[in-house]
Structure 1
Amino acid sequence: MSASNGRTAAPEEFAAPAEAAAPPPHHRPGIILAVIVGCQLMIGLDTSVVTIALPQIRDGLGLSTGGLAWIQNSYMLAFGGLLLLGGRAGDVFGRRRTFTAGIGLFTAASLAGGLATEGWWLLAARVAQGVSAAIAAPSAMALIATNFQGGARVRALSVFSAVTGAGAALGMLAGGVLTEASWRWVFFVNVPFGVVLAMLAPRILTETRRRSGRFDVAGAVASTAGMTALVYALIRVGSDGWGDGRALAGFAAAAVLLAGFAAVERRAGEPVLPLWLLTGRDRAASYLTQFLLVAAMFGAYFFLTQYLQQVLGYGPLRAGAAFLPMVVMQFATVRAVPRVLPRLGARTLVVAGTALVAIGLLWLSGLSPEDGYASGLLGPFVLVGAGGGISIMPLNATILGSVEPEQSGAASGVAQTMLWTGGSLGSAVLVTVHGSAVPDGAVPGGAVVEGMTAAFAAGAVFAAAALLVALFVLRVRR
């Protein structure tokens, strides 16, 4: 498809040859996919693997509740805010080179996080992890288009989507296992994997042609600062109410910065966010659906962890294992999607998936302190896991199928940005809803559960909005 007409490509067009410059010395599809997916899994896990360890991090470093929240949000904000700049870096320097550099920096930042002895040190390491993830992630998705063609690309994308969808939930499971030893291991575990990936990538991945270009630093800074101000304001509202002066100042700063970002992008010769990417109906609908769906799911993960540990009294290992049904359902459904996608079409699958997530979160909004795991959580875990697995791959396929191969870096960068900024913003909104519903000084019990159910209801609203976009805007043909 031409990038200028907004038409969504058919599966045959999606399988068009990718732009490549230097073929690897040997072509082993399984190893190539393992390296790309391994990077995505490592990055995705870090959005949630720390969540289970937060109580131990708080005790170990003496952090306040606000400081603890930023340990989680700083990663996603830096990640989501700089993804578009990372996508541009892949175009300019070569996607394999950028991918490898991002993995190396992420590995070093993870080591620094595990060695942290002060809160500011860990916060800086988390920001560095987010920055390096933003360098590697856009090239990861684009390298699938470069290294795979035809049916192999569809199969590779299905595995990539499975890892993307299940990464956050799988992080809960891994976080529980690692935290039993020490919270530091949720960072140290990245080091050996990162070293192996950084060594393999230059040897087996196909490099892309380097393209001349400039970096829209002003746009990247404005967008990241604007989203940070917005998340900060939402967190302040959750703890101090809507009349808090700092929260209001945060909202005002976010409005100015995000408006400035839009103005910069309209005038930039090589914008970090090419606005034409938001013009095609199916592509724009896919981006928006992805943003809303992930906002619902990531916010819910945080409160599901709290419910398991605060209300049901689970330890870290048992709380992490509780997410296993969700992980299994995501992987199982994503493996089935490539077989049914040509017959049903992306729209049908996305509608079904978003509906399942909405139903699962609505079910969670009816939790009571008397509900146990089997009666209150197992069913929603299965629905949310299946819904996420069904939705993500068709959305990614629609996005990549709507652009030429040489534009896949920019398109995948926007897709990843929607994913992680959606997760960060969704988490902040659900935290705000929870804080507004729970009185100060509440202890685990009815009041805390009431706040969690209000947050789940807000997540269901996000998922319902994604369903409406899929129903009434998305029109991709089979």
Structure 2
Amino acid sequence: MKSESNNKRWILLIILMSYLMIVLDISIVITGLPKISTDLHFSTASLSWVQNAYTLTFGGVLLLGARAGDILGRKRMFLIGLSIFMFASLLVGLSPTALFMLISRAIQGIGAAILAPSTLALLTTNFEEGAERNTAVSYYGATAGVAASIGLVAGGIFAGWLSWRVGFFINIPIGLFLFFGASKFIRETEKHLGQFDIFGAMTSTVSMSLLVYGIVQLAESGIHDRYAQLPIAAGLFLLVIFILNEKRAKQPIMPLRLFAHKERNAALVSRMLFLGAGVSFWFFTTQILQNVIGLTAIETGVAFLPTTLANFITAMNISKFTRRFGNGRVLAVMLAINIIGLLWLSLINDHSDYMFAVALPMILIGIGQGGSIGPLTVAGLTEVPQQDAGAASGLVNVAHQFGSSIGLAILIVIFSSFQDHLLSLKGQLAHQISAALVGGAIMAALAMTLCWLFIGRKQPTQITKFTDASNKAQA
């Protein structure tokens, strides 16, 4: 009995560390973006692809990665995803050019897409339903907030004292520890017969990549550029092909019947809008702190703590409010708080100070972000039939990834459109960032409206029940 308990502790440690590494990789690069831009000669618009190359392949391959775990075994896919992630991290750290880095980041996203669904599935298959599993799932959820805080601070330290490349090299020793630990302590899960919807995964990934590429191209060269128009047209065409394929496929990667529910649809669209607003904050605030206020990379990492701490504390306590007031009301309030924070931050100018102009709105934004993700997840899985719970969970994750990518691309267009050459360099940057943050606030306002109109206000079912339903469907 004692041996089994120790074994479960090791399994939980391995799963949490692997999830921490995935989230850490997203946040650790944020404070290093200005240094990456200088070293590899990225433009402001193309710099967004450091994140987009990762998140697009992550979101595009995520459904296929989850399906592969069902058919080939979760432990096997965990080890494969971890290996790809480590190898790509090494390539990113060694990147000699911008193109090489973007290709490596895309490969890294594929590894994460295979690794991420395996971590949650292994957690639920190794911990019994009830108090034991609920405790493990709560640790799993809290890991995201911890990883965001660590990543931002560590990214600043690495970029300021060593090199932004160290933030990627550190994945190698962590990954090797997890690989050997998983090989020793984790048992393989049951395999199931089935087939892959590879065509669906390919068309969805390529279509979304082309759409985002076209929008980013618009930011650099204008709306009349054919190099921007053609990718957008091709992306829309492939998106139609993807939908037709999902309608006819025997085992579709995204069953279209999931969209026959108003509340779920509102939650998915709201999630995309919310992530679009959220990524505007993280991406542009890094530029504010370093290029407008003049903080170092290390100081920038520490400067994000008001948001990450408020985010973590709110996320750990939000279920108390949803049980009492319902998802719709709580989401509307939390998104309203987020909007106020974004609009306050958008008042930035070249004479602004950190405390009043950045730190205080950061707290509001952190509260809004921490209080929105959980309720949006519940709403995105409401009244899902048991046989579709796994696919619905995957769709929520895809909306998360694509929302951040497309949202950032749109806001880059807004950023590039608001130029005022009469201002100083700092003044112009602040002016453009202000416009982008207002765009993010508008996205959050649209999400708030959808939540208020379509997401139920009755007492919601707890997230853990939906998680259990998803796990049963996947098992």
Which TM-score bucket, shorter chain as reference? 0.7 to 0.9
Q: 1:200 to 1:400 in 2, by over 3 A?
A: farther
* 2:130 paired residue among 150, 153, 169: 150
Structure-1 residue corresponding to 2:164 = 183
SS for the counterpart of 2:26 is coil
Matches within 5 A, 1:428-467: 428-439=409-420, 444-467=425-448
1:97 deviation in Å?
2.7
Q: Is the 8 A contact 1:177 1:320 kept in 2?
A: yes
Residues 119-138 of structure 1 aligned to structure 2 (within 5 Å): 119-138=98-117
Determine the C-alpha separation between the residues in 2 that align with 1:34 and 1:393: 23
* 1:238 corresponds to 2:237: no
Paired residue type of 1:228: S
Q: What is the CA-CA distance between 1:283 and the residue it aligns to? A: 3.3
The SS at the match of 1:51 is: coil
For residues 220 and 260 of structure 1, what CA distance do their matches in structure 2 show? 12
**Alignment match, 2:343:** 362
- Report the CA distance shift for 1:129/1:215 in structure 2 as closer, same or farther (over 3 A): same
* Aligned positions, number: 455
Q: Which moved more, 1:361-370 or 1:282-291?
A: 282-291
Shift of 1:202: 4.5
Partners of 2:14 and 2:204 lie apart in 1 by 30
Give yes or no for contact 2:69–2:77 (8 Å, CA) kept in 1: yes
Q: Give the superposition deviation at 1:329.
A: 1.1
| 1:318 paired to 2:294 | no
**Quick one: which of 315, 320, 325 aligns to 1:334?**
315
Q: Is the 8 A contact 1:165 1:392 kept in 2?
A: no
**Mapping of residues 151-166 of structure 1, within 5 Å:** 151-164=131-144
Q: What amino acid sits opposite 1:381 in the alignment? A: M
> Any conservation in 2 of the 1:299–1:428 contact (CA below 8 Å)?
no
Q: Identify the residue that residue 37 of structure 1 maps to in structure 2.
A: 16
CA distance 1:225–1:34, shift in 2 (3 Å): same
**Number of the residue aligned with 1:91:** 70
Q: Does 1:387 align with 2:368?
A: yes
Contact 2:29 2:167 in 1 (8 A): yes
Residue 470 (structure 1) aligned to one of 451, 466, 471: 451
The reply on whether 1:416 has 2:397 as its aligned counterpart is yes
Give the superposition deviation at 1:33: 3.7
Q: Write the mapping of 1:208-219 to structure 2, written as runs, cut at 5 A.
A: 208-219=189-200
Q: Partners of 1:448 and 1:372 in 2: how far apart?
A: 15
Structure 2 CA distance for aligned equivalents of residues 394 and 151 of structure 1: 21
Match of 2:332 among 351, 364, 380: 351
1:151-204 alpha-carbon deviations (Å, 9 max, x no partner): 444444444334345655653322111212112101111112222222333444
Tell me the equivalent position of 2:352: 371
Counterpart position of 2:276 = 295
Q: Quick one: structure 1 residues 251 and 187, their matched pair in 2 at CA, closer, same or farther if it must change by over 3 Å?
A: same
Does the C-alpha gap of structure 1 residues 291 and 69 become closer, same or farther in structure 2, counting only changes over 3 Å?
Answer: closer
Q: Does 1:48 align with 2:27?
A: yes
Find the aligned partners of 2:66 and 2:115 in 1 and give their Cα distance. 8
Higher mean alpha-carbon deviation, 143-152 vs 318-327, is at 143-152
> In structure 2, which of residues 32, 35, 53 is the aligned counterpart of residue 74 of structure 1?
53
Contact 1:86 1:413 survives alignment (8 Å): no
Paired letter, 2:448 = L
Structure 1: how far apart are the matches of 2:319 and 2:9? 18
- CA separation of 1:352 and 1:192: change in aligned 2, threshold 3 A: farther
CA contact (8 A) 2:152 2:304 kept: yes
Cα deviations by residue, 1:384-424 (Å, 9 ceiling, x for unpaired): 11111122223334555755677554333222211111111
2:223 match: secondary structure: coil
Q: Distance in 2 between matches of 1:295 and 1:354?
A: 13
Match of 1:267 in 2: 248
Q: Percent identity?
A: 36
Please say which of residues 198-207 and 83-92 is displaced more in the overlay. 198-207
Over 3 Å counting, the alpha-carbon distance change for 1:406 and 1:456 in structure 2 is same
Query: Within 2, Cα distance between the matches of 1:357 and 1:148?
Result: 37
Say which structure, 1 or 2, has more relative contact order (CA 8 Å, 6+ apart).
1
Q: Which amino acid aligns with 1:212?
A: L
Note if contact 2:48-2:408 (Cα within 8 Å) is conserved in structure 1: no
Q: 3-state DSSP class of the match of 2:105?
A: helix
Taking the aligned partners of 2:154 and 2:361, their CA distance within structure 1 comes to 20
Whether contact under 8 Å (1:170, 1:327) holds in the other structure is no
Aligned counterpart, 1:225? 206
The answer on whether the counterparts of 1:165 and 1:330 sit within 8 Å (CA) in structure 2 is yes
Query: Are 2:145 and 1:174 aligned?
Result: no
Distance 1:156 1:401 in 2: 22
Equivalent-residue separation in structure 1 for 2:386 and 2:447 (angstroms):
27
Q: CA offsets per residue over residues 55-84 of structure 1, 9 Å max, x none?
A: 323443445556544333211111111111
Q: Report the alpha carbon displacement of residue 25 of structure 1 after superposing the two structures with TM.
A: 5.6
Aligned to 1:100: 79
* Contact 2:34–2:287 (8 Å) recurs in 1: no
C-alpha spacing 1:471/1:151, structure 2 compared with 1 (3 Å): farther
CA distance in 2, matches of 1:56, 1:383: 28
Which segments of 5 or more consecutive residues in structure 2 lack a partner in the other structure? 461-475
Amino acid at match of 2:39: G
Aligned partner letter, 2:258: L
Structure 1: distance between partners of 2:380 and 2:404: 19
Normalising by structure 1, report the TM-score.
0.87
Letter in structure 2 aligned against 1:216? D
Contact conserved, 1:111 with 1:188, CA < 8 A, in 2?
yes
Separation of aligned partners in 2, 1:198 and 1:204: 10
